[in-house]
Structure 1
């Protein structure tokens, strides 16, 4: 919740800062002088300042909650407690009650210091010392060196720092939380702060260091570039064949009642089926070789491209078709000069969606006994809690997918300049 609130605050602050400070100092362009802007797609363009601040904000939040060295310390969220702390417990035994102090040395998880030395004291309850790693909790056998034992003498703890406590209850101390287990032992959890443990979310610089290591040393016998290359190859090939069959199928369904009636049940039945559900059938029918992965991606793109092409044909303005026929155009000329150009915007939109679905499916496709690929790298690393490798793979897949989407948008602007025009 706190990261979300910070992100919303950054969004609101950046919006007003750009609107009232940056925009007032910049000259107004043609778009700002248009009489129609609301509801006019041509007047809506991505704000570069918003894009830059959005990306920077995500990295700042990432660094804030991981204690990144790339940010000044005053931007860091409170980290886990590290150092020496102590709490007192009151033990009740056959001889009455007695107090003792437990000194806890909380250390970074990658270090192993010596336990602090303490004076045991004079009563039947003796002072203790223990080592606990940051973000961890530790079980303390408080009666190990006491004269009154839990099992033999029925000794038990009745208070922590003067606050009454019994089995199953918790008490907050200066730098952590003390809980009494059902067996009467102490479970101490140091304050964890608000930063994420590196094993769950490493810092940006740790992820970058891992990326450099993967480019040089590789992972699972292949470099990260080779893993990405194979994933990209599978996605492109699967998408290509999906578009090669899906687009003509969509045109046929949009132009012919018979084709529409024949294939519409099949397309509408397969459209909501997630590609992941097809993995068992793909394995049974095509094995675990490279063909199976490409076929799964092909099926992920096929139905999307077919529906996009069908929607493109159905969305052609009928007045344009009538105008072409009135000028003596043949069916093929209507197809070439009216239907295809007017359906291309829908097809490009479907292609962008299909490419995104293929990138999302490639991780599952590479689960099918893949020896290389970004998805395989992510899944194998996740089994060993190598979160930095998982994040590297996710970021690279996202960057490549975003780059492909940009290229497709540029191709659409070049090949379909009439999009959005009457």
Structure 2
């Protein structure tokens, strides 16, 4: 077995053992009754809530009427609804952020005018302006999409600016001395050198947008995994809340892994001399 494969296998074994130990500790604490089950439900209760949220079940014990998942949607449908909002809001930021950042990074005048407003927006917590977005766009998906866009846009722009400004002037001058025109300098020097920073900014932005999904779905967030988690918490349905949190966390890890894999394919030269 090759050393890199052996290292990956060892890392997988360590993570699996860590997860198993965590679940065992969780089960032991709940089984011993050290924490009230209202605050820390047992793993079995969380699993049952997860299964219930993904299946048809009785409305209540003894009531023959069956209902669909939670809030008339399966849990996976709640997740898909949230991912669709991320795709629209954060996706728009991924499309618009790099060009805006590139302009700001190459123009000191435009940067001096726009960057203070960009930093102001970056520092605002999403809950600080969600109410204003609802007033402007209503409680439908439009306000949610805008919130996720505003959460993801600044990190991408700022990462792009840093990437452009981090390109060595010697590299640009060397390209010009070899006869490259402005377009060739941009496409052959600036863009390849900036791309790793852009992808890093996208990675941060998508993560931040995903953590904002609960705030985006506080109002009229059903279907939505964040809205379901919030509603379950209000109803003191702790097992379902924990199940939603686990799904949100696993989805975040999956999205991050996909972006990392994309980066490895798109910028294979990163980290190489």
| Same fold flag (TM > 0.5) | yes
1:52-73 CA distance string (max 9 Å, x none): 2332232222112112xxxxxx
Other structure's SS at 2:263 match:
helix
1:77-100 CA distance string (max 9 Å, x none): xx35xxxxxxxxxxxxxxxxxxxx
The number of residue pairs the alignment matches comes to 261
Alignment correspondent of 1:123? none
Task: Decide whether the 8 Å contact of 2:78 with 2:222 is kept in 1.
Answer: no
Task: Decide whether the 8 Å contact of 2:221 with 2:228 is kept in 1.
Answer: no
1:372-409 CA distance string (max 9 Å, x none): 10111111111121001101111111111111111111
Other structure's SS at 1:328 match:
coil
Alignment correspondent of 1:162? none
Alignment correspondent of 2:16? 52
Alignment correspondent of 2:42? 203
Task: Decide whether the 8 Å contact of 1:211 with 1:392 is kept in 2.
Answer: yes
Give the CA deviation at 1:30. 7.6
Alignment correspondent of 2:3? 29
Other structure's SS at 1:47 match:
helix
Alignment match of 1:243 (pick from 78, 94, 100) = 94
Task: Decide whether the 8 Å contact of 1:231 with 1:373 is kept in 2.
Answer: yes
Structure 1 residue ranges, 4+ long, deviating more than 4 angstroms after superposition: none
Alignment correspondent of 1:61? 25
Q: Do residues 305 (structure 1) and 125 (structure 2) align? A: no
Alignment correspondent of 2:70? 219
Gaps of 5+ in 1: 1-26, 32-42, 68-78, 81-194
The 5 Å alignment of 1:73-152 reads 79-80=32-33
Other structure's SS at 2:123 match:
coil
Other structure's SS at 1:271 match:
helix
Task: Decide whether the 8 Å contact of 2:82 with 2:213 is kept in 1.
Answer: yes
Alignment correspondent of 2:271? 420
**In structure 2, what is the Cα distance between the partners aligned to 1:244 and 1:30?**
35
Other structure's SS at 1:350 match:
helix
Other structure's SS at 1:399 match:
helix
Other structure's SS at 1:65 match:
helix
Give the CA deviation at 1:28. 8.3
Distance 1:275 1:48, change over 3 A: same
1:117-153 CA distance string (max 9 Å, x none): xxxxxxxxxxxxxxxxxxxxxxxxxxxxxxxxxxxxx
Larger helix percent: 2
The 5 Å alignment of 1:256-271 reads 256-271=107-122
Q: Which has the larger radius of gyration?
A: 1
Task: Decide whether the 8 Å contact of 1:293 with 1:368 is kept in 2.
Answer: no
Task: Decide whether the 8 Å contact of 1:378 with 1:389 is kept in 2.
Answer: yes
Q: TM-score, normalised by structure 2?
A: 0.89
Task: Decide whether the 8 Å contact of 1:239 with 1:355 is kept in 2.
Answer: yes
Alignment correspondent of 2:105? 254
Other structure's SS at 1:66 match:
helix
Give the CA deviation at 1:349. 1.1
**In structure 2, what is the Cα distance between the partners aligned to 1:199 and 1:409?**
38
Other structure's SS at 2:30 match:
coil
